[in-house]
Chains A and B, each alone.
Chain A
Amino acid sequence: MSTEPHEDDAKVARPASTQPDAAELEASLRALPPRYEPNALLRWLYRRFFDRIEVDPAWTEMVRQAAARGTVVYALRNLSLLDFLALDHLTKRYGLPQVRFANNLGLWILEPFGKGVQHALRPRRREDDVEDLRAAVTRGESAAVFLKRPPTVLAGSATGRGLLEGDDFLHELVELQRRRTAGGDTRPIIVVPQLFVWTKRPDTRQRSIVDAVLGTREWPGAVRTAGQFLLNYRDVTVRAGEPLDLRQFLVNEDQEAETGRAATDVVVRRVVYLLLKRLERERRVIVGPVVKASDRIVEEIVRTPRVRKVIDELAGEGARERFIVEARARSMLREMAAAMEPDVIKAFGSLMEAIFHRIYDGLEIDMPGIERVREAARKGTVILLPSHKSHVDYLLVSYVLWRNAITPPLIAAGDNLTFFPMGPIFRRAGAFFIRRSIGTDRLYSAVLDAYVHKIVREGYSIEFFLEGGRSRTGKLLAPKLGLLGMVVDAAYELPSRTVYFVPISIGYERVVEAKSYVRELSGGEKEGESVTGLVRALRVLAERYGRLNLQFGEILTLDRIRSDVEATATRGGGASAFVPKRAIVARLGHQITYEINRATAVTGGSLVALSLLTHPGRGVPHSVLERTCARLLATLDHLGARVQPSVRGEGGGPSLRAITDALALFVSAGWVEVHDEEGAVEEASPLFRPFGRSRKKAIEQDDAPEPVYVVPDEKRLSVDLSKNVIIHFFVPYALICTALLVAPGPATRRALLRERVQRLSRLFKFEFMFRADATYDEIFDRTLADLSAQGTLVASAPGGSQEGEEALIDVAAGEEARALVSLYAATIASFLEGYRVVARTLSMLLKQPKGVAQKDLIKRAISVGKRMALAGEVTRREGICRPVLENAVSAFLDQGYLAKSEGKLVLPASFATISAVKAIESRVASYLSTGAQVLASAVPEAE
């Protein structure tokens, strides 16, 4: 033992007041173990590889903070030279506390002539190591402790579990911490669970020969580690688990212990357990659950009591029938089950990267949201519920999670996507396939249910689309609760596990499928998915689709929903009753939808689309467009909507860049025509910039006529898809403003307004999703108050009170308020027009007393709508759109204007006259007439 003091000794800050005890004294006298100093060649090698490791800034920040508070000790799971070398390199590179001690590494192999050799020549005992650790930590230096040693052939390999290695060292750390605390030293020892994931391949239950020779992935041998590293070093993930403050931990332990002082052995065991658990959680977030062979999964599912029961019932007595029914169940499972392969995900990742860069101008991801998902994945099982507007959604979420070192989910897909060869590829990327219609096949529903239970139980993240299919209109569809119910069921059966429901909004400025959607919306049929369709879709690659964004809503848990539902139930005066599961599922579904809507980010495209379509005239002059965008954005800000960062300009309003980018996108798609000063249409080109350098200058100097933008009638539906993405933000305002503008116009008594708005909301109950967690009156009052607070509406009462139901609600004074009211009302005008078209079409039923199939009525409505548009009775073509018309039919059925008889639509007796049918139309039309007039007067002429 060298007695020469090490140069670093001087730096050790010791509180002067404390008296070191004997052991500590000895430790401080003992030479610090040497730092690991690789020779030049090794240094080069390490730099070559370890510098490629992508380091998460959150990690360095966290370690730095811990170091500022106390002494950092890194806890790693399995004894691994590679882990140590990487840790050593990274701590040096990022200036983090450096490792002065690591247990049982046999480092001298790497440096036969270095300082380490001195250690090596002398047989080392465990006590030496402990003393070295004590020496390092006592002087405030950092250390690395490996908690487990790999199983050897002689001991422990049968269980595949490692041997505990770190107990002695943690024992020492606990002792040191106790001494520190006793000595009045407040600096804690902070143990940071440190994790390197060299391969994102999940573990498997099957052991191969490779595993036997090289060690399993979980317990890689030296060769396997090196191999994994060389294959994956670009892709290595460095993460730290939640740090453990030993001082605080001891305080808590002591409080709980009956004697007031917890036994050290017990504490050590708990610390090790806790660290291993945190490490394991962190690892599972990245690599996902242990993968079982698919045959085994199938067998386990077929043997579940639920499936067994159905098989027994269907098969009856015969062994032969049972064999056939079981074979059917297995076959269903094979068609259903995902077979995720990390290599495919990785390949998809690269492909997606290439495609995204080609067709999209950027991918904006809600990073705090990602961290919330990671936290949820650490604690439990994650169910990802994105909005669904495009087939691109399928891959996007997986890709984003994979990029952020969170294990990608299994994705529920419709079995229309199983076509060859994409089916097998999607399956390997994690898709599982569900029949579009389950029908009455009991075996199938039992098998599906069991499969969902199984994957939840195994701990996979699951992604599915609550809407059940792609929304063709841009609005969220009403949630389909079947699959959600199965997941909730599974969650109920795992009380020890928290299941987190993550609402995700995926926003597009221009949807890839817009063209086929428009065809479907205006009456065409959906085409099946096929290889030829896919090849045709390659044309997509030649165009641009603006920016993509991914937003995470508030993560929900079942507990929260349950207490919410109970709260709502008791608010009505009822006692806290048992809440049926069905109610929970329905509420959860609606809450997720609501959260997705809330999380939806405002994009330049949606803002411009809304501005273009709410404009009453044919063309929108540039300055008017800009002003409308600014108004809308201000309202959205007021509502607390998330806004894509790129949309925001310097002054907080919309940036000119965002508006022109969106316009360029629409122009290149042929959705918007630009008319220049002479009124001629400019050449549509993807390079369109409304502000070429010269023109921009001209406009700024106010000496040139500005361009006018026109959406051709037949393209309004395409633009509408982008508009509808944010329409839900405006719906509550729009309902009130529309009701307010009904002839003879404002001012209107609050009670009357309340009634009108309620009628209107009921009419639109299939069109828009309303909040489920408040009553109609509450929402009405809140929204009205909001509009008044904004200064858009004012309430005045004859008696002076502004609160009562007799108070008169009016548009506030001034141009701005009038403009806003008209603008809000205009956001839903196209829907009213669509409903009006259906009302007109109802007259066809007068001639058909036996009724008409809904399909035929819609078909007729589309042609009636086209004629009304030609006659100028309908000015917003986007209202003549299949889902809107269908919703209108549902609403009319709900209102009693229509009835169903033998599956066909008929007029009920009370409406079966021409005048009654006309009355229906005029009711709907009454919401439209004055609105347009007020609006027209509110829009200033373009200068």
Chain B
Amino acid sequence: MAKTGERALSFWGWGWADKFPDDDARRGIAVQVAALLGFDGLVPHAPPTLESAKVPTPRVSVPEALGAFCTNDREQRIRHTYGRSYRDLVRGFSGDFSPAPDLVAHPRDEDDVALLLQWAAATKIAVVPYGGGTSVCGGVEADFGASGGRYHGTVSLDMTRLDRVLEVDRTSRAARIQAGAKGPQLEAQLAEHGLTLRHFPQSFEFSTLGGWLATRAGGHYATLYTHIDDLVESMRMVTPTGIWESRRLPASGAGPAPDRLVLGSEGIFGVITEAWMRVQQRPRYRASASVHFGGRVQGGANDEAISYARAVDATRAIAQAGLHPTNCRLLDAREAALNFVTGPENQEGSHVLILGFESADHACDAWIDRAVAIAASHGGVVPRGVVKKDDGAKTEGAGAASTWKAAFLEAPYLQSVLVSLGAVVDTFETACTWDAFPKLHAEVHRAVTEAMKEQCGGGRLSCRFTHVYPDGPAPYYTFIAPSRAGMQLEHWWAIKRAASDALMRCGATITHHHAVGRLHRPWYERERPDTFARVLRAAKNEVDPASIMNPGVLIE
């Protein structure tokens, strides 16, 4: 269950347990990070052990009728306590698992899910749906704040046993997939049919289709099909009062779309059990390039700012050119350094725009050439040239682009390591219009830098665009600051709050694809219309009158 094959997942940190480096390696990383970011004082602390973790005794015993798929096993409860936000990592690292659920359910089929929900509704047990447990905004944690007293217990509903691709419709190029399937599992099963979903969030290895749908995950495509929303055809959800299933349709103009209410509902209505997804053929043609902007070519104090403005302009021009690159990610100089995509031949301190096109049908040469031309017209250079590939051959040596891909999936591991070194390190993402971006960027920079200085005496903020739209980018910020054990959460929260307030001040969104969960709710409440909040509450009340589904998420 928690183990996939022989390889064990870390019970407190990101991903595979064996990828957490030993003390020596961590000391090495500490030195490296210190050099890169210009602060020291990072010391490796001993990671926690399962045995030493503090877990409250369960308040609920397993009812006989649910015994076949429910457990109150201590380790299971520990593993289902937290998501993987910075806060979760720090608490997990300190061995504090006090919000552990009382039970963990691993339903075998949809009937099990329905039975569990009915039982929970009857006995006032809160249900927290759990896919891969990679939420970074407190989406899977059984912490219900003031309303916690209303529940007699909590069950974490782990969907990962439902991991099959059930049906493939080749004609319409769609597949019916169970919600508990993780990225690699569903890709492997689709590959048997020569198909692929091509949705690769950073958590791809561990997160599930149901989790993606429930949180409106952002994926592989930097433009066009940015969210999972664009890849779903129909969904099936079990609510405490019945099944919610939408019709398979390519499109429809019949009223508000039911799927729109399910997407991003974060489990407050029910549990998504399966979905028809729009899949595609595996791409054969690929083209990629890394465009570098600025650096020290001209000298002078504002170089970096000037070259960044040019890079942003280039990105906007490409986004508005109708080229729809698969990859179009602008990393600022610090972000690039952090992800080790700056090569020796390249100027130190330059911003990097990674471009990529792919197609199963035609070569992408014309598109990449045009994109590079636009970038060049804004002063970008392509030190390693454009890489164009046709089919089977591995896309090796694509310069920064492939390094980026590896670093992209490794980044969360680095966060876990930095937590163990006592650093404050977290990311937040948003979206705004191109028009608003300069002001937002400056405001976020000011707010976060000030907060880091005040709390930790300094730190580093970097930014990249994960997705771009014709009318605006989705900036993704990473901040790292030195801290010390015991003060981490306090420091982090002050910085996080400063950043989130800045986003709200500038009219941006609190999240582009990380979801609201419990962490972002205060800002989400400022963002959404009040009338909509009432609608949401009424809808929840209708399908979940006992209010047991993931309480505390999205709405009170």
Chain A residues with a Cβ under 8 A of chain B: 319-320, 323-325, 327-328, 330-331, 334-335, 418-421, 423-424
Contacts and interface: CB of A to CB of B under 8 A. Distances in A.
Nearest to B147: A420
A318 to B, nearest CB: 11
B110 to A, nearest CB: 14
Contacts of B150: 420
A423 B149 contact: yes
Contact of B123 (A320, A327, A423): A327
B339 interface: no
B122 A324 contact: yes
Contacts of B122: 324-325, 327-328, 331
Contacts of B152: 331, 334
Given A331-B122, A331-B124, A335-B124, A323 B65 contact: yes
B146 interface: yes
A328 B65 CA distance: 14
Nearest to A331: B123
Contacts of B124: 331, 335
User: Chain B: interface secondary structure?
Assistant: helix
B439 to A, nearest CB: 39
Contacts of A320: 65, 115
Contact of B118 (A324, A420, A421, A424): A324
23 contacts: A319-B65, A320-B65, A320-B115, A323-B65, A323-B115, A324-B115, A324-B118, A324-B122, A325-B122, A327-B63, A327-B123, A328-B122, A328-B123, A330-B123, A331-B122, A331-B123, A334-B152, A335-B124, A418-B149, A420-B148, A420-B150, A421-B149, A423-B149
B148 to A, nearest CB: 7
B63 A419 contact: no
B119 interface: yes
Interface string B62-83: 0101000000000000000000
Residue in B123, B124, B146, B149 whose Cβ sees the most chain A Cβ within 10 Å:
B123
A111 to B, nearest CB: 48
User: Chain A: interface secondary structure?
Assistant: helix
Contacts of B123: 327-328, 330-331, 334
A421 B146 CA distance: 9
Interface in B132-149: 146, 148-149
Interface in B96-119: 115, 118-119
A324 B146 contact: no
A327 B149 contact: no
Interface of B: 63, 65, 115, 118-119, 122-124, 146, 148-150, 152
Contacts of B148: 420
Nearest to A320: B115
B149 A323 contact: no
A320 B146 CA distance: 33
A424 B149 contact: yes
Given A320-B115, A324-B122, A420-B148, 13 more contacts: A320-B65, A323-B63, A323-B65, A324-B119, A327-B63, A327-B119, A328-B123, A330-B123, A331-B124, A331-B152, A419-B149, A420-B146, A423-B149
Contacts of A324: 115, 118-119, 122
A255 B65 CA distance: 64
A323 B146 contact: no
A77 B149 CA distance: 44
Q: Which 7 pairs across A and B sit closest by C-beta, in order of nearness?
A: A420-B149, A331-B123, A328-B122, A327-B122, A323-B65, A327-B123, A324-B118
A98 B65 CA distance: 65
Nearest to A319: B65
A334 B152 CA distance: 9
A930 to B, nearest CB: 59
A330 B61 CA distance: 13
A95 B65 CA distance: 67
A328 B146 CA distance: 24
Contacts of A420: 146, 148-150
A7 to B, nearest CB: 65
Contacts of B118: 324
A320 B119 CA distance: 10
A421 B122 CA distance: 23
A335 B122 CA distance: 12
Contacts of A330: 123
A423 B124 CA distance: 16
A331 B152 CA distance: 8
A325 B123 CA distance: 10
B112 to A, nearest CB: 11
B113 to A, nearest CB: 13
A250 B523 CA distance: 85
Contacts of A423: 149
Contacts of A323: 63, 65, 115, 119
Contacts of B115: 320, 323-324
Contacts of B119: 323-324, 327
Contacts of A421: 149
Nearest to A295: B61
Residue in A331, A335, A423 whose Cβ sees the most chain B Cβ within 10 Å:
A331
Contacts of A334: 123, 152
A325 B63 CA distance: 13
A757 to B, nearest CB: 54
Nearest to A418: B149
Nearest to A330: B123
Nearest to B120: A327
A334 B122 CA distance: 12
Contacts of A419: 149
A97 B124 CA distance: 61
B118 to A, nearest CB: 5
A89 B65 CA distance: 60
A832 B394 CA distance: 98
Contacts of A335: 124
Nearest to B150: A420
Nearest to B152: A334
Nearest to B119: A327
A323 B146 CA distance: 30
A324 B123 CA distance: 9
B60 to A, nearest CB: 10
Contacts of B65: 319-320, 323
A323 B65 CA distance: 7
Nearest to B64: A323
A423 B148 CA distance: 12
Nearest to A531: B146
A421 B148 CA distance: 10
A146 B119 CA distance: 54
A413 to B, nearest CB: 15
B459 to A, nearest CB: 38
A132 B352 CA distance: 106
A206 B118 CA distance: 32
Nearest to A329: B122
Contacts of A331: 122-124, 152
Nearest to A321: B118
A323 B123 CA distance: 11
Contacts of A325: 122
A492 to B, nearest CB: 32
A335 B123 CA distance: 10
A423 B149 CA distance: 9
A423 B151 CA distance: 13
B149 to A, nearest CB: 3
A329 to B, nearest CB: 9
A342 B517 CA distance: 41
Residue in A327, A335, A418, A423 whose Cβ sees the most chain B Cβ within 10 Å:
A327
A328 B149 CA distance: 18
Nearest to B149: A420
Contacts of A328: 122-123
A28 to B, nearest CB: 66
A529 to B, nearest CB: 13
A295 to B, nearest CB: 8
A296 to B, nearest CB: 13
A334 B146 CA distance: 20
A419 B147 CA distance: 9
Nearest to A335: B124
